[in-house]
Chain A
């Protein structure tokens, strides 16, 4: 049973107008059809989700939120704060630790999904956006190391420039250029990472979590679970 308006069709006096055309209405109808509210924010999940391995995705997301918030505070207050004041040093450390936990949880999430073959059942794009998120997060973390403003960042930049020059991108991506690396770290890469993460989560909501390999659907009399069946 559908709730009025849930299927994307307009209700009330604008019914005919909305259904007739306009790109905003078309986008809305398509979005609501792909991700109705009950699917976008579900309150139940399949029984096989009762496993610790499914927790690491949300732990990764939580760490990313802490990294973004602490990074935002650092940007707001500036280097004079994060290098000198006690609170600033605490937030600076929180930013680093949240990123370390982010990579820790993301790698375990990746291992779990790899051994589940989580690209089954039309979930290839979910897998691909997750993989690109992983590489983008590595780039974001590495550019973060370059903007610590200490001897460590100088040494890392000195080492990295040789590698990047060797592959021919040193002229475009200059790790010795502090301003460029700061912008990559606090603007470009977090923006891309945020977009990819949002897309990844929407794809998870759209396709649902992948069932275990060989799972059967009790409601279908022991037939293969929908996602597993689709993959064949």
Chain B
């Protein structure tokens, strides 16, 4: 699909094919898509990085 929209689209296509049916994981009553789980994981990583990484410069 992306190949139709962009010249050389296959090279620029998303690394994960987003055109198919979504994949889901289940824990009892909890069901979440892999895509949403990845975003939640990214948010946790960015949050922890924001706490640990030193802030450049002195803002006093």
Binding site for B on A (CB under 8 A): 44-45, 47, 49-53, 55-56, 104, 107-108, 111-112
Contacts and interface: CB of A to CB of B under 8 A. Distances in A.
Interface of B: 39, 42-43, 46-47, 49-51, 53, 55, 57-60
A47 B59 contact: yes
Contacts of B59: 45, 47, 49-50
Nearest to B50: A52
Taking each of A45, A52, A53, which has the highest tally of chain B beta carbons within 10 Å of its own beta carbon? A52
B50 A108 contact: yes
B47 A112 contact: yes
Q: Is the interface of A mostly helix, strand, loop or mixed?
A: helix
A108 B58 contact: no
A104 B60 CA distance: 29
A112 B42 CA distance: 15
A73 B43 CA distance: 29
Given A45-B59, A51-B51, A56-B50, 14 more contacts: A44-B60, A47-B59, A49-B59, A50-B55, A53-B50, A104-B42, A104-B46, A107-B43, A108-B43, A108-B46, A108-B50, A111-B47, A112-B47, A112-B50
